[in-house]
Amino acid sequence: MEAVQKDHWYFVVLIFLPFLKVAVPQKDAVTVRLEEGMVLECLCPWGGNLSMVSWTKIPDKDPIAVFHPEYGVAFSHHYRERIEFLKTTPMDGSISMRNVTHQDIGLYHCSVQTFPQGPWTRNIQVEDLGKRYEGESLKDNGTEPPTPEPITPDTEVVAEEDNNLTISCNHEHNGTVYQVILEKMPHGHPWGIIGVCKKVEGGLLAEDYSDRGRVSCTDSLDVSLHLTGVVQQDGGFYRCTFSTDAGVQTTTVLLTVPPPGGFSLSTYMMYIYIGAGAAGLVLLVAIIVLVVIHR
């Protein structure tokens, strides 16, 4: 009976927690370096009784980890066996994370529910090598980032639906490349990492997070994305960030997928050829008629 009650509590938390709102000011965002065993601190500064601790990763609304003093812990599938609540003090909601990857980069939100003083929250930004990713981070002083400038792509590609396509980052590197991060920004969404290529001891390490295509890495750290059966959702900006001993260099590609019945490059070119052929034929007939009349 007790096990059934616990399972019911986990279900209620996972369903309703994303919709809970608290009317307390959030603490300033702090920055944590992406590394194995990293600790995300969430220590409530006051005393009392801890009712519940929940962690979410922005912009997702689903909780990734929940702790309750009576019912224990619950984790989402992706973080199971990777997150541990430290619980160094009765009001400590801090967690540690192992087996980290570049997908763990982003903004985390910790919410500590207490009695009688109420909730306390904290935002933590996880970054790689001190580099901020556009569209994902907040300033350390807790203010919103400035409005991003318009993106000017280095290359523009148009692909029709159901076709196959390979997106490559053609870039002349200045210096030795030791890591490449491939990101995608769908229209109206922030940047998200879909692939990483980096040199490690013993060879090349490739991390493929794309759910639509296949990320490939070469020994020279050239990266490409192979898409099979292009769909509308594949459209958007793609960015390769090359980390070299001479600094960080980027290459941006804009992929446009016209909607069905809309603009089609092949159809457009076919109309061009037909129109040019028809105009040439009319001109030829006119010339022949003029020659005949002149004679």
What does the alpha-carbon distance between residue 236 and residue 182 come to, in Å, rounded to a whole number?
A: 13
Q: Are residues 251 and 274 in the same domain?
A: no
Q: Are residues 44 and 116 in the same domain?
A: yes
| 220 DSSP assignment | T
Q: Is residue 107 part of a domain?
A: yes
What does the alpha-carbon distance between residue 260 and residue 255 come to, in Å, rounded to a whole number?
A: 16
Q: Are residues 78 and 162 in the same domain?
A: no
Domain of residue 166, CATH code: 2.60.40.10
pLDDT value for 241: 86
Q: Are residues 27 and 114 in the same domain?
A: yes
Q: Which residues form the domain of 55?
A: 2-127
Q: Are residues 243 and 273 in the same domain?
A: no
What does the alpha-carbon distance between residue 165 and residue 228 come to, in Å, rounded to a whole number?
A: 7
pLDDT value for 267: 60
Q: Are residues 92 and 17 in the same domain?
A: yes
pLDDT value for 6: 47
Q: Hey, which residues does 54 pair with through a beta bridge? A: 66, 111
Q: Is residue 137 part of a domain?
A: no
Q: Which distant-in-sequence residues (6+ apart) come within 8 Å of 130 by Cβ?
A: 33
Q: Is residue 55 part of a domain?
A: yes
Q: Is residue 141 part of a domain?
A: no
Exposure of 291 in the CB half-sphere (CA atoms within 13 A): 6
pLDDT along the chain (295 residues), means of 10: 47 46 52 91 90 87 85 86 91 92 88 89 82 40 51 90 88 75 83 84 82 87 91 91 80 89 59 81 87 81
Buried b (16+ CB within 10 A) or exposed e, 156-187: eebbeeeeebebbbebeeeeebebbbbbbbee
Out of 111, 127, 143, pick the residue that ends a domain.
127
Q: Is residue 262 part of a domain?
A: no
Our count of domains for the chain comes to 3
pLDDT value for 78: 83
Tokens representing 261 are 């019945």
Q: Are residues 71 and 30 in the same domain?
A: yes
Q: Are residues 66 and 99 in the same domain?
A: yes
State residue 111 phi and psi, 5-degree precision: -125, 120
Q: Is residue 136 part of a domain?
A: no
CA-to-CA dists, residue 142 to 128, 129, 145, angstroms: 19, 21, 9
Q: Are residues 279 and 228 in the same domain?
A: no
Residue 200: exposure state from Cβ atoms within 10 A (0-12, 13-18, ≥19) = exposed
Q: Are residues 118 and 93 in the same domain?
A: yes
Residue type, 267: T
Exposure of 42 in the CB half-sphere (CA atoms within 13 A): 33
Residue type, 145: P
Q: Is residue 149 part of a domain?
A: no
Q: Are residues 24 and 52 in the same domain?
A: yes
Tokens representing 209 are 């997070």
Exposure of 293 in the CB half-sphere (CA atoms within 13 A): 6
Backbone CA torsion sign across 26, 29, 34, 35: negative
Backbone CA torsion sign across 200, 195, 42, 92: negative
Q: Are residues 104 and 217 in the same domain?
A: no
Q: Which helix (H) or strand (E) holds 288?
A: helix 265-294
Q: Is residue 12 part of a domain?
A: yes
What does the alpha-carbon distance between residue 242 and residue 179 come to, in Å, rounded to a whole number?
A: 6
Length of the chain: 295
